[in-house]
Amino acid sequence: MGTNYYWRDRICTPCGRYDEIHVGKGGALFRGYRHVLLNTEHPDWGYSEHSPFDEPVLSRSDWLRILAGRPGELYDEYGKRIPNPIGWLAALTPPAPEQIRQQDADRAAERAASRWQFEPEAGTEWRDAEGFRFYAREFS
Ligand SMILES: [Zn+2]
């Protein structure tokens, strides 16, 4: 289905630990974060829609703006570092209209076939203005 990409944020120089933030799967599906956590005294990292940044992530242009100049590194799920994350993001090609129709048809069939799953909450799947798909939940 595609390779997952993760942003390593707040990398600690002495020990090498970092926060791992899911960016998405290849260029086919982005991870979106709809909400911004306002009460930082009571963080709720278990709630998957909270943005790990101080603003929501709703589009590729959001990802580009947030990651540009931010300390951190992009890795794929196999541990390979992406040397130029911004260039990589910027080079992704939005789906053509025919691809969008196919993706939507596949998604509708997938949902119809998996009745045991909960329906995704309204608004947790969307496309940005360029046509890139976003899910505001964990996926792999
Ligand atoms: Zn450390």
Q: How far is the CA of 40 from the centre of ligand 1 (A)?
A: 21
List of residues 6+ apart from 6 with CB closer than 8 A = 20, 21, 22, 23, 74, 75, 76, 77
Average pLDDT, stretch 49-70? Answer: 93
Q: What percent of the chain has pLDDT over 90?
A: 65
Q: What's the pLDDT tens digit per position in 24-47?
A: 998 789 999 998 876 666 655 556
Q: Which of 74, 87, 76 is nearest to 7 (CA)?
A: 74
The CA 10 to ligand 1 mean position distance, Å, reads 10
Distance CA 122, CA 88 (A): 30
- What distance in angstroms lies between residue 17's CA and the mean position of ligand 1's atoms? 6
Q: Confirm if 5 and 23 have CB atoms less than 8 A apart.
A: yes
Residue 12, domain member (yes or no)? yes
Note whether residue 103 is domain-resident.
Answer: no
Contact 35, 56 (CB under 8 A): yes
Please give the Cα distance from 55 to 32 (Å, whole number).
11
pTM of the model: 0.87
Residue 132 has pLDDT above 80, yes or no: yes
User: Tell me, what's the pLDDT at 27?
Assistant: 78
104 found inside a domain: no
* Averaged pLDDT for residues 97-113: 90
| 105 located within any domain | no
Mean pLDDT, range 99-105, rounded to an integer: 94
Residue 101 maps to a domain: no
Between CA 122 and CA 62 the distance in angstroms is 21
Q: How far does residue 113's CA lie from ligand 1's centre (Å)?
A: 45
Total structural domains in the chain?
A: 1
Task: Return mean pLDDT, the chain.
Answer: 89
Within a domain: 111: no
Instruction: Give me the domain span that covers residue 43.
Output: 4-94+123-135
Residue 88 lies in a domain: yes
Does residue 110 belong to any structural domain of this protein? Answer: no
- Residue 11 alpha carbon to ligand 1 centre in Å: 8
134 compared with 108, residue with greater pLDDT: 134
The alpha carbon of 25 and the centre of ligand 1 are apart by a number of angstroms equal to 28
